[in-house]
Amino acid sequence: MQFFTASDGAKIAYRDEGAGVPLVLLHGLLAHGGFFRAQAPLAKTHRLITIDLRGHGESPANGHAPSVERIAADVGELAEALDLHDAIGVGWSLGATVLWQVLAGSQGRRFAGAVIVDMTARVLNDVHWSLGLTAEACAARRLAIRDDFAGFAVNAGEAIFAQPVRDEHRDLAVWASAEFAGSDPAAMAAVWDSLVEQDMRAALPGLTLPTLIVHGGESQLYGDDTAAFLVANLPNARSERFDRSGHAPHLEEPERFNQLLSDFAARLSRASTPQSTVS
């Protein structure tokens, strides 16, 4: 584990392994970099950078209320400190919103591609938007985090998997629930409130880098229509449906996910390499 000091003095934990095209892995709410443990083999052929986002894992909130904007600033500052070039950002759930904000900012130039894993452009539904969660569902989650965090964490850990949880994922679901339950409830409440306020729809058309939309065919949160919206509104995007996955395709179908990510990185690398000509 390594630590980076953000501009406000906070310590941000990350792991930097391997060499090659940088893959920057950004996890979801209540999780940490360890939720990309199934992607560890990619460090054999790529530079794998996994970050514990502020308020998660080994990156403490230190009594402050983390926001999506501050978390995105942390990621951008780390990308600058590591002097990343032609990186591929992989954002799962909360991590996708963080990634979009990084790409729209000054450090977006350090990224050559993006992978969005089961996320929507706006979490909170209204009369004109239905590809997120209802206001009632968002409020219920906020109350559960405040009033019964342990119960919420256990349920959330199971809910990221296709339902009912398959036998081969049962131990993984138990592990996810326990890791979720170890999170800081106050920090999670703050990040959830901030996430619900985000609306990335206007930013999508300006994100012209190649983007891969990965979505779970059995996700309890976002469906095929959400992925279709992202493909339609991002200038250079395509989608891949993981039929046997819920909200966490990288955990539920890791071999396919890793191959897809490796192939995506290889195509981008070939596209950015000047082709020699033979006279």
CATH number at residue 32: 3.40.50.1820
**Secondary structure (DSSP) of 122-173:** -SB-BTTB-SSB-HHHHHHHHHHHHH-HHHHHHHHHHHTS-SSPPGGGHHHH
Reference 111, options 103, 100, 121, 122; nearest CA is 103
Range of 29's domain? Answer: 2-121+199-270
Residue type at 36 in one-letter notation: F
Predicted structure pTM score: 0.95
- Are the C-beta atoms of residues 256 and 242 closer than 8 Å to each other? yes
The answer to whether residue 143 sits within a structural domain is no
- Could you list the pLDDT tens digit for every one of the 279 residues in the chain? 999 999 999 999 999 999 999 999 999 999 999 999 999 999 999 999 999 999 999 999 977 889 999 999 999 999 999 999 999 999 999 999 999 999 999 999 999 999 999 999 999 999 999 999 999 999 999 999 999 999 999 999 999 999 999 999 999 999 999 999 999 999 999 999 999 999 999 999 999 999 999 999 999 999 999 999 999 999 999 999 999 999 999 999 999 999 999 999 999 987 766 554 433
11-17 and 2-5 strand pairing: antiparallel
Provide the number of structural domains found in the chain: 1
Phi, psi of 87 (to 5 degrees): -80, 160
The answer to whether residue 24 sits within a structural domain is yes
The answer to whether residue 139 sits within a structural domain is no
HSE-CB of 180 using CA atoms within 13 angstroms: 24
The answer to whether residue 278 sits within a structural domain is no
The angle at the Cα of 123, spanning 14 to 244, to the nearest 5 degrees, equals: 75
